[in-house]
Structure 1
Amino acid sequence: MLKEQYDFILSSRNTLLNYIKGISEQDFLTNNSSFGRGSIRNLLVHIGQTYCAWIGERALGIEQKFLPFEKYQTLKDCQSYFDQVDEYIGLFIEKFKGIELQEIEIHRNGEILTVNPLQLFTHVITHEFHHKGQIMSLSRHLGYIPVDADIIR
């Protein structure tokens, strides 16, 4: 079921990324302190970093090197980062297939958390949608008309 759900996420994300192609490079990088991470680029990178931290590092045990936002200058750079995210999600779904509700221990900031794979998956996808909303709002402030990137549209 997680694979099917992630397919919905990918459809929504692709709608967002295609929309962002119509945003100028300058606006893509424009910082606005009212929107958390500041720019559309930063929000996209933050979404990717969150997947990589929770799924890649904590759930799969794959050491991560988190690059500063400035290392991602274009939408294409961000899309490449999402390719890594998609790979991790594929590994995650395979690893936890059939045991999505089984408790596992993960390490976070020196603590051990007990969660289940479904909670981790839900955490990262809802996080993505939260920031997707910020990207849409930020783009509206920059003069663009956001598209509908909901799961059901």
Structure 2
Amino acid sequence: MLPLFHYNWQIRDEWLKWCEQFDQEELLKKRVGGMQSILHTLFHIIDVEYSWIGAIIGEEEEGPQFSDYQALESVKELSFRYRKVLEPMLEQKLPKLLRGEVKPAWSIETYSNEEVMYHVLTHEIHHMGQLAVWARELNIKPISVNFIDRNLIHLRPHIRV
């Protein structure tokens, strides 16, 4: 599961870099699908990841408001700040974090921690697909989402025959 978190973070960083070619107006332009803008969709991905994992570890707090993150640099900083907290925790405690259940403050339901982690991972992948559609609508090549060649799985060297 950890390689998928690293995958999502790599892809997210590449999309944030991709966004640098646009002005704020284009990043906030209302679009069909997702969170209706490129920047809001990236913000949403970051917020959902941190909120759900925060619920699992019992550190729920009122999440950030998109109205406070209307610039690309502020969304990049939020992503960096949250990852700085999440990455070492996931690398050290992921098996433990997968055990148990969580009832987030915003839900009446209780979920298994493992289900939540898979939700967080696939949620980001889903939204990356939306960003790719918008990129194509702008006639700009989207970020490659291939897992292959990202050096995320460290296996024994292949033996060539």
- Root-mean-square deviation (Å): 2.4
In structure 1, what is the equivalent of residue 34 of structure 2?
Answer: 36
Report the alpha carbon displacement of residue 84 of structure 1 after superposing the two structures with TM: 3.1
Q: Over alpha carbons, which structure has the higher Rg?
A: 2
Q: 1:13: which partner in 2?
A: 12
In the alignment, is residue 145 of structure 1 matched against residue 144 of structure 2? no
| Deviation, structure 1 residue 108 | 4.5
Deviation per residue, 1:74-115 (Å, 9 max, x gap): 221111111233134236426744335523233353525140
Return the alpha-carbon distance in structure 2 between the equivalents of residues 44 and 92 of structure 1: 22
5 Å-filtered alignment, 1:80-95, equals 80-90=77-87, 92-93=89-90
In structure 2, the residue matched to 1:66 is 63
CA contact 1:12–1:149 (8 Å) conserved in 2: yes
SS in 1 for 2:96: coil
Distance 1:113 1:42 in 2: 27
Structure 1: state its 5+ residue gaps: none
In structure 2, the residue matched to 1:24 is: 23
Instruction: Report SS of the residue matched to 2:148.
Output: coil
**Given residue 77 of structure 1, which amino acid in structure 2 is its aligned partner?**
S
Task: Calculate percent identity across the aligned residue pairs.
Answer: 24
Higher strand share: 1
Residues 24 and 105 of structure 1, relative CA distance in 2, 3 Å threshold: closer
Q: 1:37-95 deviations in whole A, cap 9, x for unaligned?
A: 11001101111121122112x11222323333232122211111112331342364267
TM-score w.r.t. the length of structure 1 is 0.80
The alignment partner of 1:107 has SS state of: coil
Please state how far the C-alpha of 1:28 moved relative to its aligned partner.
Answer: 0.8
Say if 1:144 and 1:97 are closer, same or farther in 2 by CA, change over 3 A: closer
Whole-angstrom CA distance in 2 between matches of 1:112 and 1:28: 34
Per the normalisation by structure 2, the TM-score is: 0.76
